[in-house]
Amino acid sequence: MGTPWHWIEFNLFVIAALALDLGLFHRRAHAIRLREAALWSSVWIALSILFGLGIYYRNGSQPALEFFTGYLIEKALSVDNLFIFLVIFRAFSVDERVQHRVLAWGVLGALVMRGAMIAVGAALISRFTWILYLFGVFLLYAGGRMLFAKGSGMRPEQSRLFRWASRWFPITHQYREHRFFVLQEGRRYVTPLFLVLLVVEITDVTFALDSIPAVFGVTRDAFIVYTSNVFAILGLRALYFLLAGVLRYFRFLKAGLSAVLLFIGAKMLAEPWLHLPAHVALAVVGGILAVAMLASWVAGPAKLETGSPDSFLPKGED
pLDDT in tens, 202-230: 877 777 887 888 888 888 899 999 999 98
pLDDT of residue 24: 66
- The share of the chain scoring above pLDDT 90, in percent, equals 12
Mean pLDDT (the chain) is 80
By C-alpha distance, which of 9, 5, 55, 17 is closest to 233?
17
Q: Is residue 210 part of a domain?
A: yes
Q: Is residue 310 part of a domain?
A: no
Q: Is residue 80 part of a domain?
A: yes
Q: Among 4-13, 161-170, 274-283, name the one with the lowest average pLDDT.
A: 161-170
Q: Is residue 174 part of a domain?
A: yes
Q: Is residue 311 part of a domain?
A: no
Q: Is residue 73 part of a domain?
A: yes
Domain count, the chain: 1
pLDDT of residue 308: 43
Instruction: Tell me: pLDDT of 252 over 50.
Output: yes
Tell me how far CA of residue 41 lies from CA of 6, 12, 139, 238, in angstroms: 25, 21, 28, 5
Q: From CA 178, how far away is CA 180, in angstroms rounded?
A: 7
pLDDT band with cut points at 50, 70 and 90 for residue 315: very low
Q: Which residues constitute the domain of residue 132?
A: 4-299
Q: Is residue 306 part of a domain?
A: no
Instruction: Tell me: pLDDT of 7 over 50.
Output: yes
- The share of the chain scoring above pLDDT 70, in percent, equals 85
Q: Is residue 307 part of a domain?
A: no
Q: Are 178 and 101 in contact (CB under 8 A)?
A: yes
Q: Report the chain's terminal Cα–Cα distance, integer Å.
A: 55
Q: From CA 106, how far away is CA 236, in angstroms rounded?
A: 10
pLDDT of residue 52: 93
Query: What are the beta bridge partners of residue 183?
Result: 188
For the residues 262-272, what does the mean pLDDT come to? 88
pLDDT of residue 314: 44
For the residues 241-263, what does the mean pLDDT come to? 81
Between 157 and 76, whose confidence is greater?
Answer: 76
pTM of the model: 0.80
pLDDT of residue 54: 92
Instruction: Tell me: pLDDT of 311 over 70.
Output: no
Q: From CA 138, how far away is CA 210, in angstroms rounded?
A: 8
pLDDT of residue 57: 92
For the residues 104-124, what does the mean pLDDT come to? 85
Q: From CA 158, how far away is CA 92, in angstroms rounded?
A: 11
Instruction: Tell me: pLDDT of 77 over 70.
Output: yes
